[in-house]
Amino acid sequence: MTFSIVARSADGESWGVAVASKFLGVGSVVPAAVAGVGAVATQAWANVAYKGLALAHLDDGATAPVALQRLLEEDDGREHRQVGIVDIDGGSASHTGSACLPWAGGRTGAGYAIQGNILTGPEVVEAMESAWLESDPGLPLERRLLAALAAGDRAGGDSRGRQSAALFVVREGAGYDGGDDVAVDLRVDDASAPIPELERLLDLHVLYLTASTEEEKVAITPEIEADLEAFAAAQGRPDFRAWVGAENYEMRVADDLSWIDEKILAIVRSGAS
C-alpha cells in the first residue's frame, strides 16, 4: 500500500525518507532517521518497532544488512513486512516479505533503498531509482528524495490510489534554532494529490526555515528602508521589524535591516503596488 525511498546525501551529512501511500497519515508510521546513524522505512504490514530497533542496531555499529537481518530474525511476521534501511556510510538493505501483496519489491544501491507494495507494477520502483540516480548529487537531499517519490507516482504509484505523503530528513544541528537534527519533517495526511502538496510545503519550508544565501540578499538602502516602513504601516504594523516577526520571515531579513531577501522584497513590492 506504500512506496518509499530511504537515502543518504552524497556528502554524507544527511539521511532521510520520502513516502507516499493510499493510507491515512503515512508519515506517522513509515519513516524514521537520526543524523550520524541512518534512516529506515517500515511498511506493508508495518512493524513500527522496526524504527527504534533498526536505529539502535545502526547506532551500535551494525551495517544496514546486519541491522535488517537482526530485525527479521526477531520477527515472526517477517513475511508480511517491507523495510528499507540506509546506514551511516550509505550502506543499504531492503526486504520484501513473501506475503506482501503484489506488486511488491524493491531496489538498492550505494546510499539508497527503494521499496513498495500494492503498486501498479515494477515500473514504480524502477522510475524512482532512475530519478534518484539521474538527480544532481549536489542538491539538498530533500529535493532528491521528493523528485524520486514524484517519479514513482507518475509511473503509477499505489495501485489503490493516492491519499498521503511525507518527507523526513535529518542533519546534525539542522533543527529549529539548532535544537535538534530534524531538517525537514513535512506531512500531507489526507489529500487527493498529496505529492504536489508536499512539494508546495517544501517550498514554504525553505522560504520560512532556511537562511538566505548571499546571492539572495539585497542591501537595504535608505530608499528601500523607507518603502519597507511605509509598507509595514499600511499593513497595520508599527514598523517593518514587527511585520517581519508577524509573518515569520526572520530567516530572510537581517536583524539590523542591512539586507532583505529578494523574495521578501518582491512580496513587499507586490503588496505595495
pLDDT tens by residue, 204-255:
999 999 999 999 999 999 999 999 999 999 999 999 999 999 999 999 999 9
Same domain as 170, residue 117? yes
* 157: CB partners within 8 A, 6+ apart: 3, 20, 119, 120, 124
Residue with cell 531579513: 253
168, 192, 209 — which closes off a domain? 209
User: For the chain, what's the residue count?
Assistant: 273
Residues 202 and 221 in one domain: no
Alpha helices in 60-193 (DSSP H): 64-73, 123-134, 141-154
**Count of the separate structural domains present in the chain:** 2
Shared-domain flag, residues 97 and 190: yes
pLDDT in tens, 156-192: 999 999 999 999 999 999 998 889 999 999 999 999 9
Q: Contact, 153 vs 20, CB < 8 A?
A: yes
Distance between CA 273 and CA 254 in Å, rounded?
24
Residue 201 C-alpha cell reads as 510545503
Task: Please list the residues that pair with 117 across neighbouring strands.
Answer: 2
Instruction: Mark which of 184, 209, 234 sits at the end of a domain.
Output: 209
| Same domain, yes or no: 223 and 101 | no
Helices (DSSP H) in the chain: which residue ranges? 49-59, 64-73, 123-134, 141-154, 194-209, 222-234, 240-247, 262-272
CA torsion through residues 215, 217, 223, 227, sign = positive
* 131 and 225 co-located in one domain: no
131-161 per-position pLDDT tens digit: 999 999 999 999 999 999 999 999 999 999 9
Domain of residue 74, residue span:
2-209
The verdict on 147 and 233 lying in the same domain is: no
Who contacts 114 (Cβ-Cβ below 8 Å, separation ≥6)?
3, 4, 5, 6, 84, 94, 106, 107, 108, 125, 128, 129, 132, 148
Average pLDDT rounded to a whole number, residues 49-56: 98
Taking CA atoms, 4 is separated from 30, 59, 65, 175, 197, in Å, by: 9, 22, 18, 23, 17
Q: Let me know whether 107 and 240 are in one domain.
A: no
Burial class (CB in 10 A: 0-12, 13-18, 19+), 209: middle
- 54 within 8 A of 85, measured Cβ to Cβ: yes
**Whole-Å CA distances, 19 to 22, 197, 251:** 11, 13, 28
Query: What does DSSP say about strands 217-219 and 38-44: parallel, antiparallel, or unpaired?
Result: unpaired
Residue 166 sits in the same domain as residue 221: no
Q: What is the pLDDT of residue 85?
A: 98
Residue 97 has pLDDT above 80, yes or no: yes
Q: Which three cell numbers stand for residue 178?
A: 539548532
Same domain, residue pair 186 and 107: yes
Q: Are residues 174 and 52 in the same domain?
A: yes
Given pLDDT bands bounded at 50, 70 and 90, which one contains residue 272? low
